[in-house]
Homo-oligomer: A and B are copies of this chain.
Amino acid sequence: MQRNKGPEKNKATSAADVARLAGVSRSAVSRTFTDGASVSAKTREKVLAAAAELNYHVNHLARSISKEQSRPVCLLAANLDKPYHNLLLDALTKQLQQDGRIVMVINASSEPSSAEEAMRRALHYRASASVVMSGTPPQELVQACVDSGQKVIMINCNDDIENVHHIQIDYADAMQQAVTLFQQAGCQALSLVSSTKGTPSLLAREQFFISAAQAKGFEVTIWRGDNTNYEDGQQAAQALLSDHQPNHAYFCITDLVACGFMDTARHEFNLSIPDDISILGFDDIPQSAWQAYQLTTFAQPYQGIANRVSDILGEQQEADLTSRLNAIPKQRNSLHKEKREKS
């Protein structure tokens, strides 16, 4: 319980302090705290005792400047007020931490310049890797990161910059299933509620949905809001539901959009779900499971993405630069139950 035992007041003790107290060299204390380094049981013990007494902890930041493996990983996050991004951030931080990585989070809010700012920071911190959780930073900056020896991992973004790792979700399967679900629910006409943002993952879902629908002979009408938030779903419903037909169904490009859509359908148009209207979402945010929504949706493989990132960081030689994961369907109650008779 004695505090301030170290030489100076309020200053962290260093390996040198420990070495002095233990009567060994600085190298010896460094080695005791390095996995697999060769130290005799005896000196190890002396060091450990001294370290405990002085409350010493290796300075990981200092270590990271001489040891490649322990350099930090930068997470370039955005939209931290949105459930999808939080779920991904949660999975990623947990996994990387478990791998013993230092993780720095860079919050690139939605301003155009800030992805750039964020990437520049990653460069400053000499991260061993940068994980771009969403958005598309300027190509030359990404290039600069790669050039300075960083691994860059982009999630759900199909820019093709040289030597960048990509983790992509295979939306083809999921969209196929979506259309099948609508079909089973007896729907006859489909609307796609999407946005003009046009990010790669949005576009992929759109395209696969449309072609899957057309392959099965469905008409698809498209409505686009500015963004993919709750409010956009409300607007969509406002625009689309005034001439709603009972056998019409709606695929909302994100769960947030779906929630807004459902609320407006219910509270403004007095429609009952799923009796009057069938809806499907995407992302499986926690709210979709709420009783008010019970939304059938597709989960992003959050843990799968985290595992893949972890694998990539561990690899010496880069194997395949792009990896694909599947979305996971979550059946709930937002689709009509009994087959409707043809109208």
Residue from B124, B263, B267, B287 within 8 A of A60 (CB atoms): B124
Q: Are A80 and B72 in contact (CB under 8 A)?
A: no
Given contacts A104-B104, A290-B263, contact A123 B234 (CB under 8 A): no
- Of the listed stretches A87-95, A193-201, A311-319, name the one at the interface; the rest are far from the partner chain: A87-95
Write the nearest CB–CB distance from A225 to chain B, whole angstroms: 16
Question: In chain A between 10 and 63, which residues have their CB closer than 8 angstroms to a CB of chain B?
Answer: 10-13, 55, 57-62
Residue ranges of A at the interface with B (Cβ–Cβ < 8 Å): 3-4, 10-13, 55, 57-62, 64-65, 71-72, 75, 77, 80-81, 83, 86-87, 89-90, 93-94, 97, 102-107, 109, 120-121, 123-126, 143-144, 147-149, 230, 234, 259-260, 263-264, 266-267, 286-287, 290-292
Cβ-closest chain B residue relative to A148:
B12
Q: 26 A–B contact pairs at CB < 8 A?
A: A4-B147, A10-B147, A55-B144, A58-B124, A59-B65, A59-B126, A62-B65, A62-B126, A65-B65, A77-B93, A80-B89, A80-B93, A81-B286, A86-B86, A93-B106, A93-B107, A94-B107, A94-B109, A102-B125, A103-B104, A103-B105, A104-B105, A263-B290, A264-B291, A267-B291, A267-B292
Contact A12 B109 (CB under 8 A): no
Known contacts A12-B149, A80-B89; is-contact A97 B104 (Cβ 8 Å): no
* Cα–Cα, bound, A184→B57 (Å): 57
Name the distance in Å between A45's Cβ and chain B's nearest Cβ. 21
Chain B nearest Cβ from A196, distance in angstroms: 22
Shortest C-beta distance, A71 to chain B (Å), equals 8
In the bound complex, CA of A4 to CA of B120 (Å):
18
Q: Which residues of chain B are near A60, meaning CB under 8 Å?
A: 124-126
- Chain B: minimal CB distance from A258 (Å): 12
Closest 5 A/B residue pairs (Cβ): A80-B90, A263-B291, A93-B107, A12-B148, A60-B124
In the assembled complex, which residues on chain B have CB atoms less than 8 Å from the CB atom of A259? 290, 292
Q: How distant is the Cα of A94 from the Cα of B290 in the complex, in angstroms? A: 30
